[in-house]
A and B are shown apart, each in its own frame.
Chain A
């Protein structure tokens, strides 16, 4: 695998993470428990969408086959998406959405911090800009974790249920492909082992403070996103997201 191919795959992976999470969070628009949370979640969705646009545009440029951000977002099929499974898990209730967000925010936060030292100029610029947004996302979701985990008996149970469902999706975040290994060696992407350590430390400390527990998943880990093997949810997400541009490819708005 050439360096360019590896970089294309990596940009696609990161871009798809942001794109699919934005799509998921956008589903909350008009449905959250109060206007304030509704706007907060959709703000995060818009930030993720902005990141997806930058990453997919750059992926298209690196690939050099003339594909735009829209081509990549709307005209790939399920097997061609490279996002981690965590971001496509269904929203469930607010507890599950905020827990998924928390687990992902901490991952993004530490990855972006490290990416600022990348040898790749685009990734440095991207990480510097996005880190400000993600730092806020992290504050927001950490606040909710503690508030609901250490809240009422009911909110505590809902949060524990959410962690029980989501925990098995977290190891995949730190997987490295053959291409990633090439990029790591070249100093283009950070060492995922270090990110995993930082993530573990922070996530476990917040979960403990929220009086919640890490579930025993009996060693089961859900993965497959990096090779295009997705959950049963993915087809529905793409159907909704891609319907319009596939029906009217020239539509402008």
Chain B
């Protein structure tokens, strides 16, 4: 079982922790490991020392597809001027019940 990692420290992994059942896993940080098993053990040691979690995901960093800064304008700006997408845009007419 010989791995050929990116660096002598292993590959980079992203760690996601779920704090309670039913809520989403949140990104906690990253670490180096040679494979999934050791990534999981290290994630437990590095990121859950103070009772932070009850479930851990580890994902190879290179598997994450991220948007780039160059795309930011086309991705996010159109949402800026669409105030009607926020519920606060609408006035609730007087007398409406059970809304």
Residues of A within 8 A of B (CB): 34-37, 39-40, 43, 136, 139-140, 143, 147, 150-152
Cross-chain contact of B1 among A37, A140, A147 (Cβ < 8 A): A147
Question: Which residue of the partner chain A has the closest CB to B44?
Answer: A136
Task: Give the B interface residue count (CB, 8 A).
Answer: 16
Q: Are B41 and A43 in contact (CB under 8 A)?
A: no
Q: Are B38 and A147 in contact (CB under 8 A)?
A: yes
- Complex CA–CA separation, A143 to B9 (angstroms): 17
Residues of B within 8 A of A (CB): 1-2, 9-10, 31-34, 37-38, 41-42, 44-46, 49
By secondary structure, the A interface counts as: helix
- Complex CA–CA separation, A43 to B50 (angstroms): 11
Known contacts A34-B32, A143-B37; is-contact A39 B2 (Cβ 8 Å): no
Contacts of B9 in A (CB 8 A): 34
Question: Which residue of the partner chain B has the closest CB to A146?
Answer: B1
Among the interface residues A34, A136, A152, which one has the most CB atoms of the partner chain B within 10 A? A34
Contacts of A147 in B (CB 8 A): 1, 34, 38
Known contacts A36-B32, A39-B45, A39-B46; is-contact A150 B38 (Cβ 8 Å): no
Q: Are B2 and A40 in contact (CB under 8 A)?
A: no
